[in-house]
Structure 1
Amino acid sequence: MTPGDPVESDVAVVVEGIPADTAMLVVQRGSKAGSRFALDNDVVTAGRHPDSDIFLDDITVSRRHAELRRVTDGTWLACDTGSLNGTYLNRQRIETAILSSGDELQIGKFKLVFLLGGDGA
């Protein structure tokens, strides 16, 4: 955000009863605040391209911005795919990082919270 931009408030993330072995992203800030995206494939794409699994329509988001990847032990990775503005995990710019339940992922101006069911929630 730059000075003069409207201030966006974060949406409280309250999700109960996420089944074990289920992961999701909940948009906390951005035009889709409150939206939930189930991570139900081993690779989930996020970006401004209409074919993205998680379509984030804003100029601050690259067409093919990031991927979320489930590895064999059920761990999830966040991976930047060469985006212009970067992908951030808990306010640190990343290339690839392991996700934990409650982590905050930032893609462009969108803030998303990663939630994992079962023991990870």
Structure 2
Amino acid sequence: MGSEKRAKGEEDEGEIPVLTVLKNNTILKNIFIVNKPPEEPEKASRGEHVDVLLVGRHPDCDLMLTHPSISRFHLQIRSKPSTRAFSVVDLSSVHGTWVSGKRIEPMVSVEMREGDVLRIGVSSRVYRLHWIPISRAYDLENPFVAQLDVLAEEEEGEEEEEEEEEEKMQVRYN
């Protein structure tokens, strides 16, 4: 019953987007996408507030990344927690931006969904999108840790399919 109350409370409080940073399938950190509170409180109370963050190497960016292939002003992130809307716009970067393995066109807003992966420039780091209750972002005793089990299972399934295909090919030619 306690977990039911907690789950209900978490639903009421809202969720925020989190980008889990992975390199070589290892979690490096979580980036909680929250920006300064809205200047117009009435918009926030109606759920119309949109967080806009600038990502790049420049010190004026909200999220500063240091990889040399990342442009000074590389991309823009827009999130609207009230509707779980999350989108990215590549700001005509030199080395590009990928969402779930597909390069996105410059200056075109691309929606991301839970579990989608973002890659910026040619960095080997990837950023997996999650939505978590706000209280989890501030829970130091039980910090948010993304589940990689699903990712590992997907990769294992793909490897098994490839092995089966190879076995079929060998049988055909023997």
Give the alignment's TM-score, normalised by structure 1.
Answer: 0.71
Match 2:63 to one of 32, 44, 54:
54
**Matched-pair contact (CA < 8 Å) for 2:99–2:116:** yes
More divergent stretch after superposition (78-87 vs 67-76): 67-76
Match of 2:128 among 90, 102, 113: 113
Tell me whether 1:22 sits opposite 2:16 in the alignment.
yes
- Name the CA distance, whole Å, in 1 between partners of 2:68 and 2:102: 21
Q: CA deviation at 1:77?
A: 0.6
For residues 62 and 128 of structure 2, what CA distance do their matches in structure 1 show? 16
Matched pairs, number: 100
3-state secondary structure, aligned to 1:61: coil
Aligned: 1:85 with 2:95: yes
Identity of aligned residues (%): 29
Unaligned runs of 5+ in 1: 1-16
Structure 1 range deviating more: 57-66 or 92-101: 92-101
1:104 aligned residue: 117
The CA deviation at 1:111 is: 1.1
SS class of match (1:34): strand
Stretches (4+) displaced over 3 A: 71-74
Bigger Rg, which one: 2
Which position in structure 2 is the counterpart of 1:14? none
Cα separation, 1, equivalents of 2:130 and 2:117: 10
Secondary structure (helix, strand or coil) at the match of 1:40 reads: coil
Report matched runs for 1:36-51 at 5 Å: 36-41=30-35, 42-51=51-60
1:76 and 2:89 matched: no
Q: Which has the higher contact order (CA 8 A, sep 6+)?
A: 1
SS in 2 for 1:70: strand
The structure whose residues are more often helix, as a share, is 2
Paired position in structure 1 for 2:75: 66
Contact 1:61 1:85 survives alignment (8 Å): yes
Distance 1:54 1:61 in 2: 12
Question: Which structure is higher in strand share?
Answer: 1
Secondary structure, counterpart of 1:97 in structure 2: strand
For the Cα contact (< 8 Å) 1:100–1:116, is it kept in 2?
Answer: no
Q: Aligned-pair distance for 1:29?
A: 2.2
Contact 1:76–1:98 under 8 Å retained in 2: yes
TM-score by length of 2: 0.51
The two structures, once aligned, show a CA RMSD in angstroms of: 2.4
